[in-house]
Amino acid sequence: MSSKKPILELRNVDKSFGPIDVLDNISLNVSEGEVLCLLGDNGAGKSTLIKTLAGVHQPSSGEILMDGQPTSFASPRDAQERGIATVHQFGGTYPLMSIGRNFFMGSEPTKGFGPFKIFDRAKANRIAVDEVQKMGITRITDGDRLVGGLSGGERQSLAIARAVFFGARVLILDEPTAALGVKQAAHVLRIVNEAKKRGLAVIFTTHQVMHAMAVGDHFAVLIRGAIAADFRKGDKSREEIADLMAGGESMADLEANIENRTESHSGHAPQSNA
């Protein structure tokens, strides 16, 4: 897939839940400074795949390799401690906490000694705001602001900046732009590019082809748990990717079909192009 050495790799991974086969013979890898886009319609298996990469599920068969060595993740915490950070659709942040608190949750900077140690709010706020600004989100200037007052895109950005600051090597983004408007999605895509520039390997799941094309270096299309196509940037057009995601049906044909049905329901005869 790439000339660089993969950080994280799946080889022939299957995943079943009892009698239900969800992932079928998945082989994929992602290297530093690259964005791998996992594309697929609802139910294609994207969540199961990223949960397998993040230590939530164990493969039923096949191998996971990290830096070329076969490995397994005992739990999400195990994967996290080894540099795999997952950011979910709403940023995984706590609305009633301040930006500074949120950024450092679980590893708060303290001041004072022994029993007199207290959370160093000013330091936490300063670092959190600095890090988010370094990722290009300059509208966040006050670390005391509650996360609940941020937009969806800003929350995502905060969660990504946090993962980068705490040394993630692989950033897994689960539908980060799905619930966002155009401007907010653009913010998040810019941050994905920034994370990539800093050498992180990014896995980005989406069903929005345009978002994938804006940041992706390579692409894998999942259909019913199997990789239906695997290609690099520039190899396919937007229309070709959309057709692949629709299971090989041409989107133009689907659209024409919908138009015809709508027109016949409204009592108008479909217009001929002839």
Ligand X SMILES: Nc1ncnc2c1ncn2[C@@H]1O[C@H](COP(=O)(O)OP(=O)(O)OP(=O)(O)O)[C@@H](O)[C@H]1O
Q: Which is nearer to ligand X, 135 or 227 (CB)?
A: 227
| CA separation for the pair 216, 202 (Å, rounded) | 9
Locate 52 and state its tokens.
């397998």
Select from 8, 34, 37, 48 the one that contacts ligand X (CB under 6 A).
48
Strand order in the sheet with 61-66: 20-31, 6-17, 61-66, 69-71
Cα–Cα distances (Å) from 121 to 75, 115, 161, in that order, read 31, 17, 18
The dihedral formed by the CA atoms of 180, 237, 38 and 227, expressed in degrees to the nearest 10: 150
Give Cβ neighbours of residue 273 (< 8 Å, ≥ 6 apart). none
Residue nearest to ligand X (CB): 47
- The window from 39-47, 71-79, 193-201, 246-254 that contacts ligand X (CB under 6 A) reads 39-47
Q: Which of residues 56-95 bind ligand X (CB under 6 A)?
A: none
Q: Is 47 in the site for ligand X (CB under 6 A)?
A: yes
Select from 17, 77, 181, 252 the one that contacts ligand X (CB under 6 A).
17
Q: Is 22 in the site for ligand X (CB under 6 A)?
A: yes
Locate 120 and state its tokens.
């160093």
| Per-position x/- string for 198-227, each x denoting binding to ligand X as judged by CB under 6 A, each - no binding | ------------------------------
The dihedral formed by the CA atoms of 137, 142, 148 and 154, expressed in degrees to the nearest 10: 0
Q: Which is nearer to ligand X, 45 or 83 (CB)?
A: 45
- The window from 35-43, 119-127, 156-164, 253-261 that contacts ligand X (CB under 6 A) reads 35-43
Q: Which residues bind ligand X (CB under 6 A)?
A: 17, 20, 22, 40, 42-48
